Amino acid sequence: MAQPRAREGQIKVVYGVTSQDIMLCHGPGTQKADVNLLLGAVMNSTLEADFSTRYKLECEKQMGLSVLEQLIARGYDPRTLKISINKMEASND
């Protein structure tokens, strides 16, 4: 797969079949930091807090904005968000 291309105002995170790695790009009118935010949401570890811990953090306003909220604040239209992934085929080992 060639390097992915993004249209103006678009960010992309795709899996490169040839490179066997996650690839990212951003079109004119976007920032590299914006695509890195999205990449981080896909690649970073998540906090697996129990319900009472999460509830306490939310009540104390210690929870940060979601990735979607951050993208909206950066001017992205959530109605255009598309994420697609297929299950791997079962191996016959």
Query: pLDDT digits over 55-74, tens only?
Result: 787 788 777 777 888 889 99
- Position 81 scores a pLDDT of 77
pLDDT grade, residue 2 (50/70/90)? low
Q: What is the mean pLDDT of the chain?
A: 80
Mean predicted confidence (pLDDT) in 8-36: 84
- Position 75 scores a pLDDT of 93
Residue 51 lies in a domain: yes
Residue 16 lies in a domain: yes
Residue 22 lies in a domain: yes
- Position 19 scores a pLDDT of 77
Residue 27 lies in a domain: yes
- Position 65 scores a pLDDT of 78
- Tally of structural domains, the chain: 1
State the residue range of the domain holding 70: 11-80
- Position 48 scores a pLDDT of 67
Q: From 69, 1, 5, 16, select the one nearest 38 (Cα to Cα).
A: 69
